[in-house]
Amino acid sequence: MAKLSLGDLEVKGKRVLVRVDFNVPLDKETGEITNDMRIKASLPTIKHIIDHGGRAVLVSHLGRPKGEVVENLRMNKVAERLEALIKIKVKKLDDCIGPDVEKEVLAMQDGEIILLENVRFHKEEEENNPDFAKALASLADLYVSDAFGTVHRAHASTQGVAQFIPAASGFLLKKEINFFDKILHSSERPFVAILGGAKVSDKIGVIENLMEKCDTILIGGAMAFTFEKARGIEVGSSLVEEDKLEVARGILEKAKEKKVKIITPLDHVVATECTSEAERKIVDRREIPPGWKGLDIGPQTIDGFKKILAGAKTILWNGPLGMFEVEPFNRGTVEIAKAIAETNAMTVVGGGDSVAAVTKAGVFDKISHVSTGGGASLELLEGKELPGISALTEKE
């Protein structure tokens, strides 16, 4: 059965508690917001509520305050940025529950916006404490979940609260669910997945589930070296998860049975150290010298991956293809971001680093869907049910 969504709700005159994901990156020195993609992504939901005469009570976490008030993790800067983007006054409160909050919320008029304080200042949030969830729910008539980035967590504001008042998905959450549903259940073939990043261990579940759905899996990043070593290829000092070699072998075997191609890089950019100044060279996959480490995919690999991507109808990308924080080892990741953007395929990109790469490559707007949730998208791709989605009210 389908879940209730924002479009099904009559919000006029109602207080709507919206769990947004305003967990934005902050500059360590100045405390300024360095990327407001997540705030922008929540605007359609907030606008819909206020345009239809609802009263939006927004709640989010920011960073990891671990159940204590941390001054530089207050939501003040977020409130300022939201106000600038939505061009309506945003009243920021100093807590998210309690009598003062209740008073402010009860005094709201139609079309007004309140942003509550960082919900993780209370340890009960992550404990999914039912009394805390009830206190949050008591602030509103309706609950809307739009925080895709945290729907894989069973916390009070993402799951617990939905036990007490009607709970619907917001537009962002609905869009995220629809794209991943399409990817997993009705993707046009050929379907090519590109996976990168440091660890195979984080992506085992994803690879296993994708093997049932896609035609080709391109592997880059440090993850590739665990597969190479599992095949008996020398990888020098490249990052390898020694305890996952068996798992990698198992995945390669299974892929063969399922006739899914798992393609690892043909060549690598290797260096003696992971710095921009270090000596580096391009080598064939079988020629990584001892003491050198692979830090990016090489030019032949970029060309090969591009050709495969050009023929795809569906592309899913998660994880950088090299040590992309350090130039010039970002080249493979940026080139692949551009190649994905140039295809006519349905393209879905998830994971913080890949999202940063499509932004840096200037192709963000050419991707069909850039996901706002790294962990949540991986769990959906593993085929798991996510607590913040399961908790929503079924549509009658």
3-state secondary structure of 313: coil
> Is 221 a residue that touches ligand AMP (CB under 6 A)?
yes
Instruction: Return the number of the residue (43 or 198) whose C-beta is nearest ligand AMP.
Output: 198
The CB-of-63 to ligand AMP minimum distance in angstroms stands at 18
SS3 content of the chain, % helix, strand, coil (to 5): 40, 15, 45
- Examine residue 168 and tell whether it contacts ligand AMP (CB under 6 A): no
User: What would the two tokens of residue 261 be?
Assistant: 């191609």
Name which of 65 and 351 has its Cβ closer to ligand AMP.
351
Tell me if residue 55 is catalytic: no
Quick check: 179 binds ligand AMP (CB under 6 A)? no
Residue 202, interface with ligand AMP (CB under 6 A)? yes
Residues 6+ apart with CB under 8 A from 357: 320, 324, 330, 333, 334, 336, 337
Three-state DSSP class for residue 263: strand
Shorter beta-carbon distance to ligand AMP: residue 160 or 351: 351
CB atoms within 10 A of CB 362: 12
Instruction: Quote the least distance from Cβ 333 to ligand AMP, whole Å.
Output: 8
- For 24, 78, 118, 237, 277, the CA distances from 71, given in Å and listed in that order, are 16, 13, 10, 42, 38
| Beta carbon of residue 371, minimum distance to ligand AMP (angstroms, whole number) | 13
Of the residues 37, 198, 266, 282, which one makes contact with ligand AMP according to CB under 6 A = 198
> Which amino acid type is present at position 318?
N
CB of 292 to ligand AMP, least distance (A): 12
Question: Which of 353, 369, 370, 387 contacts ligand AMP by CB under 6 A?
Answer: 353
**Residue ranges of the alpha helices (H) in 259-298?**
none
Q: Which x/- pattern over 223-242 shows residues binding ligand AMP (rule: CB under 6 A)?
A: ----------------x---
Pairing of strands 191-195, 314-318: parallel
Q: Segment contacting ligand AMP (CB under 6 A): 66-74, 177-185, 193-201, 363-371?
A: 193-201
Q: Which is nearer to ligand AMP, 224 or 341 (CB)?
A: 224
Name the residue number minimizing CB distance to ligand AMP. Answer: 197
CB of 239 to ligand AMP, least distance (A): 5
* Known catalytic residue at 38: yes
Residue 35 gets which letter from DSSP?
-
Closest CA to 218 of 308, 282, 287, 284: 308
Is 375 among the residues known to form the active site?
A: yes
- Report whether the peptide linkage leading into residue 387 is cis, meaning its omega lies within 30 degrees of zero: no
Q: Interaction with ligand AMP in 289-348: which residues (CB under 6 A)?
A: 294-295, 319-320, 322-325
Q: What is the dihedral of CA 318, 60, 46, 55, to 10 degrees?
A: 160
Q: Which of 53, 67, 375, 383 is catalytic?
A: 375
| Per-residue interface string for the shown chain with ligand AMP, residues 110-129, x marking contact by CB under 6 A | --------------------
Which residues have a Cβ under 8 Å from the Cβ of 302 and sit 6 or more positions away? 331, 332, 335, 336, 339
Count of residues interacting with ligand AMP (CB under 6 A): 17
190: cis peptide before it, omega within 30°? yes
Q: Known catalytic residue: 120?
A: no
State the residues that interact with ligand AMP by CB under 6 A: 197-199, 202, 221-222, 239, 294-295, 319-320, 322-325, 351, 353
Active site residues: 38, 199, 352, 375
